[in-house]
Structure 1
């Protein structure tokens, strides 16, 4: 009788003339091992993705957004306005932080102006997000 945690095995070992060993096992056991190997590969891939994402979060290359914020961005709302509001900043605060007038910021948030790339970088830094979050 097999001990708990061990399974009786029907594996046969064959010694080849060249000195190698072959294992012959029932098809259902082979299929089970193949499935376990595939599962282990999927878990390893998922683990790599999680490690990559965690590193990107630590380095500030990615952020975690609340669903409500992500939904607003997905609906096409202005990213600067959405992120500013999420960060609980008023227009005047952000304008001062990036060195522009509140009026200019308002035009950016309404889509009338875009601003140069350098300003986009300043907005991203001031809002604590990667620049690609602000680019449509």
Structure 2
């Protein structure tokens, strides 16, 4: 004896829309999934808005941890790198710069070209203008 699936019944509203009947548990699962997708989409939109604001707002305040490190004597680049929990080796590998050169920039012994600073900004995931000095 083989299993026969029940034949589906077709329900149509007076306006001609076809209806679907599903178990309540499946409906609840779909509603929860839709809510999760909406929440994820809103999180992505919030992140995108924040990144766009950072990229265009030259008067953005540095994160407090970065400011604290700078007040304690760290350079801006070092403070941002530490805030991002990165080592000089990791930043150097991402930028293609020598670790010693990065150390010289962080220590103020070298300034870094605008191109170098742009690479560092990308590696540190901050807007370019955070690392550019006026006139460069």
SS at match of 1:88: coil
Q: Distance in 1 between matches of 2:132 and 2:75?
A: 10
Over the residues paired in the alignment, what is the CA RMSD in angstroms?
A: 2.7
Q: Distance in 2 between matches of 1:58 and 1:134?
A: 16
| TM superposition score normalised by structure 1 | 0.51
In the alignment, which residue of structure 1 is the partner of 2:128? 131
1:89 maps to 2:89: no
Between structure 1 and structure 2, the one with the greater Rg is 1
SS at match of 2:97: coil
In the alignment, which residue of structure 1 is the partner of 2:19? none
Judge conservation of contact 2:66–2:76 (CA < 8 Å) in 1.
no
Unaligned runs of 5+ in 1: 1-53
Instruction: Output one character per residue of 1:46-78: Cα deviation in whole Å (capped at 9) or x when no partner.
Output: xxxxxxxx9862314156744232233466631
Q: Which runs of 4+ in 1 moved over 6 A?
A: none
1:107 maps to 2:90: no
In the alignment, which residue of structure 2 is the partner of 1:57? 50
In the alignment, which residue of structure 2 is the partner of 1:17? none
Unaligned runs of 5+ in 2: 1-46
Distance 1:119-1:64 versus aligned 2 partners, 3 A rule: same
| TM superposition score normalised by structure 2 | 0.51
In the alignment, which residue of structure 2 is the partner of 1:32? none
Distance 1:101-1:58 versus aligned 2 partners, 3 A rule: closer
Distance 1:111-1:56 versus aligned 2 partners, 3 A rule: farther
Q: Distance in 2 between matches of 1:57 and 1:75?
A: 28
Kindly report which structure 2 residues correspond to 1:1-136, keeping only aligned pairs within 5 A, or say none.
Answer: 57-59=50-52, 60-61=54-55, 65-73=62-70, 77-136=74-133
